[in-house]
Amino acid sequence: MDEKLKAYTHPERVRRVDHKGKYFNAAGPHLIEPSRQRTPFIFQAGASKAGKGFATKHAEAMFLPGMHIESVRKSVLEIRQTATAQGRDLNGLKLIVDETDELAQQKYDEYLTYADLDGSLALFGG
């Protein structure tokens, strides 16, 4: 980025890059406008110490695993403390959407039927 000219690119250096491959074709130009922050929106998925550290410093959003409210609460408190120490403020959010509130609640209830404590313990214990 050229701060003086307020230019992100040199137009004369921009060229179209198309991809035609075995599995997919893609037009070279990016089809979405940049976000207001002008940088990629960073999601962090991972609950390791390094992952949490990266998220609290750089990420706009974080996926948190957890089968029990208390374990998730503990992670959230640790993450908020780390973020606060770095001058950042974080909020939590869980989204489940559908055409109506009732359908969204049914979807959430269905998701809960797939939760398996023993399977989760095996996954995270492995």
Q: What is the domain partition of the chain in residue ranges?
A: 95-125
Measured CA to CA in angstroms, residue 99 lies from 103, 104, 107, 110 at distances of: 7, 7, 11, 16
Radius of gyration of the chain (CA): 21
Residue 8: pLDDT band by 50, 70, 90 thresholds? Answer: confident
Question: What confidence tens digit (pLDDT) does each residue in 74-95 have?
Answer: 888 888 898 899 888 877 777 8
Q: Where are the alpha helices (DSSP H) in the chain?
A: 49-58, 69-85, 101-114, 117-125
* In the chain, % of residues over pLDDT 70: 92
pTM: 0.49
